[in-house]
């Protein structure tokens, strides 16, 4: 028996499979898994991951080129009738869009008047950053996309990412030349949302399915089938009014969202360099010499900002939220069909912890 085991070991060694090395590497793998858990990943591990993707991003970009080429071939083989119908539909949409452009311009003028009256300085809207997807990891553990642009073009953690139809996700890992998008469908995704029609608040929770579910909607939510769901901006990280999808009821009485962004492959996206808009009260509170009543009662930090981790994830979304802390977004900054019904009444609604 002993001699058999010995000969087997020798055979393994001669084939290059060292049992000792195998055990050592198994231990290293275990240690890496423990310390690289998404919930408590350290900055060092995050930096290492970002550095690695920086190195491989150009290679992945090169590899993605033929796939994009194949995709571009598709329309040439499509039925001419389909193309003609699509063309006619787009013409109609273009005519309808002209009306919305006029409305947007009027509302922009109104907002400028309000801002002047309230003495609010809206940060200058930076242009959207366009990026190609270079890697698609839709495996069992993470729903994310890698894009071939990073800090070199001004991308930072937490920035929302949209495609032509709606919100796709947000940046959660930024390297110098690459960044990773956490998709709305990922199990770690939590986005404060509202129904565009009723302003009913909820939290959209990804569960790796194609239809993220709505949590904290209350016992009798003011949501109906087909309601347009948009970001509420309550977290202070995402702007208010970004289109997400349509409400779909489930058999168990809950709600899920059919994402607008899934109407097209997430191959080309826009990263929105969104800076939180500071309200006039916050501006006053920051001035040291100005007498402010009840200034001692002001919280030292914003509970919403505190609930958002460095990775841009909302850690405790059920806790107190701060209403429209982010303010509304100028319509001119919206690249997609957002906000046509968005309310701009500044109503503040909090999502109670018990979801009612």
Partner 1 sequence: MRKAKDANAIYWDLGLCVFTVLVALIVQAAPTRLLDGVNIMPTWPLIAIFLWAGLRPSFMPPIVVFAIGLTQDLLTGAPMGVWAMSYLIALAAFRFRGEDGMPRDLPPVLLRFLFMLLLAHTVAYLVGSWALGQMADLMPLIVEATATILMFPLLAFLALRRRRSGRSGFIGG
Applying CB under 8 A, the residues found at the interface with partner 1 are: 8, 11-12, 14-18, 21-22, 25-26, 28-33, 36-39, 45, 49, 52-53, 56, 59-60, 63-64, 67-68, 70-71, 74, 133-142, 144-146, 173, 180, 187-188, 208-209, 262, 265-267
Q: Nearest to residue 39, comparing CAs of 233, 208, 190?
A: 190
Q: How far is the CB of 227 from partner 1 (least distance, A)?
A: 25
Q: Which is nearer to partner 1, 265 or 280 (CB)?
A: 265
Distance CA 221, CA 223 (A): 5
Q: Are 343 and 199 in contact (CB under 8 A)?
A: yes
Q: How far is the CB of 28 from partner 1 (least distance, A)?
A: 7
Q: Which is nearer to partner 1, 36 or 302 (CB)?
A: 36
How far, in Å, are 126, 164, 184, 186, 201 from residue 334 at the CA level? 12, 11, 19, 24, 22
Q: Hey, how many other C-beta atoms are within 10 angstroms of the C-beta on 93?
A: 10
Q: Which is nearer to partner 1, 198 or 263 (CB)?
A: 263
Q: How far is the CB of 208 from partner 1 (least distance, A)?
A: 4
**Residue 139: which residues within 8 A CB-CB, separation 6 or more?**
none
Q: Which is nearer to partner 1, 144 or 238 (CB)?
A: 144
Q: How far is the CB of 116 from partner 1 (least distance, A)?
A: 45
Q: Which is nearer to partner 1, 46 or 233 (CB)?
A: 46
Distance CA 169, CA 145 (A): 9
E strands, the chain, are 129-138, 143-147, 160-162, 167-174, 179-183, 190-195, 201-205, 213-215, 228-231, 243-249, 255-259, 268-271
Distance CA 172, CA 193 (A): 19
Q: How far is the CB of 158 from partner 1 (least distance, A)?
A: 17
Q: How far is the CB of 89 from partner 1 (least distance, A)?
A: 20
Q: Which is nearer to partner 1, 146 or 214 (CB)?
A: 146
Q: Nearest to residue 309, comparing CAs of 185, 170, 168?
A: 170
- Token digits for 174? 């930024």
Q: Are 261 and 165 in contact (CB under 8 A)?
A: yes
Q: Hey, how many other C-beta atoms are within 10 angstroms of the C-beta on 53?
A: 24
Distance CA 55, CA 278 (A): 37
Q: Which is nearer to partner 1, 173 or 328 (CB)?
A: 173
Q: Which is nearer to partner 1, 68 or 85 (CB)?
A: 68
Each residue of 200-237: b (16+ CB within 10 Å) or e?
bbbbbbbebeebbbbbbbeeebebeeebbbbbbbbbbb
Q: How far is the CB of 315 from partner 1 (least distance, A)?
A: 13
In DSSP terms, which residues pair with 133 in a beta bridge? 147
Q: Nearest to residue 201, comparing CAs of 273, 310, 304, 337?
A: 304
Q: How far is the CB of 168 from partner 1 (least distance, A)?
A: 12
Q: How far is the CB of 52 from partner 1 (least distance, A)?
A: 5
Q: Which is nearer to partner 1, 66 or 299 (CB)?
A: 66
Q: Are 178 and 215 in contact (CB under 8 A)?
A: no
């Amino acid at each position: 028996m002993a001699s058999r085991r010995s000969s087997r070991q020798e055979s393994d060694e001669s084939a290059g499979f060292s049992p000792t090395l195998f055990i050592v590497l198994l231990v290293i793998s275990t240690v890496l898994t423990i310390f690289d858990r998404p919930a408590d990943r350290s900055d060092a591990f995050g930096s290492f991951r970002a550095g690695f993707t920086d190195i491989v991003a150009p290679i992945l970009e090169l590899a993605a080129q033929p796939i994009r080429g194949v995709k571009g071939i598709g329309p040439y083989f499509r039925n001419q009738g389909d193309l003609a119908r699509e063309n006619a539909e787009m013409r109609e949409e273009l005519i309808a869009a002209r009306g919305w452009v006029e409305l947007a311009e009027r509302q922009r003028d109104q907002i400028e008047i309000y801002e002047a009256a309230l003495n609010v300085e809206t940060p200058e809207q930076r242009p959207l950053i366009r990026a190609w997807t270079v890697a698609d990891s839709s495996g069992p553990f993470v729903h994310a996309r890698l894009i071939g642009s990073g800090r070199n073009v001004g991308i930072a953690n937490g920035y929302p990412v949209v495609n032509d139809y709606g919100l796709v996700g947000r940046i959660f890992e930024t390297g110098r030349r690459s960044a990773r998008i956490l998709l709305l469908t990922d199990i770690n995704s939590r986005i404060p949302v509202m129904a565009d029609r009723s302003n009913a608040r909820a939290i959209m929770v990804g569960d790796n399915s194609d239809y993220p579910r709505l949590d904290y909607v209350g016992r009798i939510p003011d949501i109906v089938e087909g309601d347009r769901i948009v970001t509420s901006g309550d977290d202070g990280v995402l702007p208010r009014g970004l289109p997400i999808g349509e409400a779909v009821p489930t058999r168990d009485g809950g709600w899920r969202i059919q994402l607008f962004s899934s109407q097209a492959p997430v191959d080309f996206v826009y990263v929105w360099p969104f800076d939180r808009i500071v309200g006039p009260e916050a501006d006053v509170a920051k001035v040291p010499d100005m007498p402010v009543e009840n200034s001692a009662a002001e919280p030292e930090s914003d509970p919403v900002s505190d609930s958002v981790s460095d990775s841009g994830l909302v850690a405790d979304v059920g806790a107190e939220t701060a209403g429209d802390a982010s303010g509304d977004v100028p319509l001119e900054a919206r690249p997609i069909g957002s906000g046509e019904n968005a309310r701009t009444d500044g109503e503040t609604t909090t999502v109670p912890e018990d979801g009612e």
